[in-house]
Structure 1
Amino acid sequence: MQADDRNLAQALGEARRWFDEALLAGLAACGAAPISATQVGLFSVLDLGGTTTAELARRMGVTRQTVHQAVQGLAKLGLLEQVPDPTSGRQRLVRRTVEGKRTHEEAERILAGAERELARRIGDDAVAALKSALAADWGPPAAAAR
């Protein structure tokens, strides 16, 4: 598919993959344990104090089973842990470990570098316009007009 044939949703998906690939390559270069794109996505929606698996699944648009598998993989790598939720006796929160926080900070540095590289390639104004458009309130999704 040529760039001109893509609709906006496809172009946004490809842009996201560009950043994911930059992040995964950067993490590998600094010696971090290999993680999947799903695990990267989980890290990006995790609250500082921790988040339930149900909320992570909602934010990621995946099943709780998918989140559970991603959490288990990241826990085995020492990046996440599950702790009791102080507001609920039945739920547990997923949160970053000390190593997970360090890895998250490294990921933020890598993504900032990728953004700078994108600005070098397409221009500061184009990156600023993208960020502005993506930060705008789009309202709820509407049925496509025919």
Structure 2
Amino acid sequence: MRSTSRNLPQLLGDARRWFEEGLLAALQAGGATPVSPTQAQLFAVLDDQGTTVSELARRMGVTRQTAHQAVHGLVALGLLEQVPDPASARQRLIRRTPEGDRAHRQAGVILERLEEQLAERIGRETVDALRATLEAQWGRPPSPPPPT
């Protein structure tokens, strides 16, 4: 029998926070510049060649203002920079600085370690099955039913 107390989006959110908290704690313990969860999420959705603030906001599921604030905080820390977008004179691209690249690589190593720790706790087969499920093509979200 399935428990109805927590829905799947809540459980996925908890899983994301588990990784996020582990990442931020490991970065802090390693002496890295402290960042907020929103700033860490921004790093995760940033393309190597640069991304506009509007696109970052869309990928993060936040307002443009929230993404802009996170970008400015990371620019002030020297982890991101704003450069002209060659495709549009009106837009700017956000990209990692060399220090931001170093931090991004460090975060990748930490996330691999966290995944290994998770596999030790719940089993490698379970983690592999979870990964395969999340990597599967789910298709577009279903359309809402017509009003009755």
The TM-score bracket by the shorter chain reads over 0.9
Q: List runs of 5+ in structure 2 lacking aligned partners.
A: none
Alignment correspondent of 1:5: 5
Q: List runs of 5+ in structure 1 lacking aligned partners.
A: none
Partners of 1:103 and 1:140 lie apart in 2 by 33
Equivalent position amino acid for 2:21 in 1: E
TM-score, reference length from structure 1: 0.94
- Could you tell me how far 1:140 is from its partner in structure 2? 1.3
Partners of 1:89 and 1:141 lie apart in 2 by 34
- Could you tell me how far 1:7 is from its partner in structure 2? 1.2
Runs of 4+ in 1 over 4 A off after TM superposition: none
Partners of 1:135 and 1:60 lie apart in 2 by 18
> Structure 1 residues 113, 4: CA separation in 2 closer, same or farther (over 3 Å shift)?
farther
Alignment correspondent of 1:96: 96
Aligned-residue identity in percent: 62
Count of residues in Structure 1 that have an aligned counterpart in Structure 2:
143
Equivalent position amino acid for 2:130 in 1: L
- Could you tell me how far 1:5 is from its partner in structure 2? 2.4
Alignment correspondent of 2:123: 123
Partners of 1:58 and 1:82 lie apart in 2 by 18
> Structure 1 residues 97, 125: CA separation in 2 closer, same or farther (over 3 Å shift)?
same
- Could you tell me how far 1:143 is from its partner in structure 2? 5.2
Structure of greater relative contact order (alpha carbons < 8 Å, 6+ residues apart): 1
Matches within 5 A, 1:1-146: 5-142=5-142
- Could you tell me how far 1:122 is from its partner in structure 2? 0.4
